[in-house]
Amino acid sequence: MKKKYTQLITPEQLAQSIEQSDLIILDASIQPVGNMTKPEFQWPDVSLPNARRFDLETDFSDSRAAFPHTMPSAEQFQHQARLLGINNDSQVIVYDSFGVFSSARAWWMFKAMGHHNIAVLDGGLPAWINGGYPVEQANNTSQTATGDFQASYNPDYFSDTRQVLESLEDDTCVILDARASARFSGQAKEPRQGVRSGHMPGSKNLPFGQLLDRGSFLPKEKLVAIYQSVAMHEQALIMSCGSGVTACILALAAELCGYQSISVYDGSWSEWGTRTELPVVTN
């Protein structure tokens, strides 16, 4: 692929590059908790041509972890990425069936593992279909040559509970919560059993849907205006959500806006809301 995509790619750009030999397309769709409307088209009934399944729930999550969607080890990630035929020089494009939802999580994980030639299909499967581009039924039995992907984990991409707790008192850091405002304020019950309602003291609410228009990112100038209202450019950002998935939408948007210090709280509210020794407020 002549141009390397590292953040977003439009359906038009992807269609023009669909025959490139280094291109690998991944479907990273998951079923969300809560009340999101089920997508009209989804894997495996409908997929992009030659797409492969990035299974965020099992293959690319730590099965031993107490909380969902926890980052796997570099060894596990590397093994699963190689099974998908991914090489060190692959141009990876990831999408999901909602537009931009879980695809951003896959994007962030690859970056954390040292692979930067990865981009999210802006608008995902719906935008691809609406653009009139071809789709097919997923072929789950096809054999893929093993890739040579080498994982090199950079821990700066993720924060743990201790780091988040310390950041609550740090004016140089802003914690942004991607959950819906009713969950953030504690007015709505958490969809996961045993998880408290509310938010971290001092954190700010930035529901991920505010960054999107019909499943695609808002124009950059609008994203910049939104981020300028919640954080100064020189501040570090820690993104949180329900289980570390939509926090990555905030991370992608922040990178588009030029923020340099961005981290995702991997445990997110699934962990924070469960651990009763950690502070929670409602308002």
Chain centre to alpha carbon of residue 13: 21
* d(C-alpha 114, C-alpha 94), whole Å: 16
Based on its alpha-carbon atoms, the radius of gyration of the chain, rounded to whole angstroms, reads 18
Sign of CA dihedral 169, 175, 179, 185: positive
* Residue environment code for 99-126, b if the CB has 16+ CB neighbours within 10 A, otherwise e: bbbbbbbbbbbbbbbbbebbbbbbbbbb
| CB proximity list for 217: less than 8 A, separation 6 or greater | 8, 100, 122, 211, 223, 252, 253, 256
Element (H, E) at 158: strand 158-159
Q: Is 218 left (phi over 0), alpha (psi -120 to 50) or beta?
A: beta
H or E stretch covering 26: strand 23-27
Cα–Cα distance measured from residue 87 to residue 155, given in angstroms and rounded to the nearest whole number: 22
19, 42, 59, 165, 253 from 138: Cα distances, Å: 18, 10, 18, 43, 30
Query: How many residues are present in the chain?
Result: 283
> Which pair of structure tokens corresponds to residue 51?
């797409």
Just list the catalytic residues.
241
Contacts of 171 (CB under 8 A, 6+ apart): none
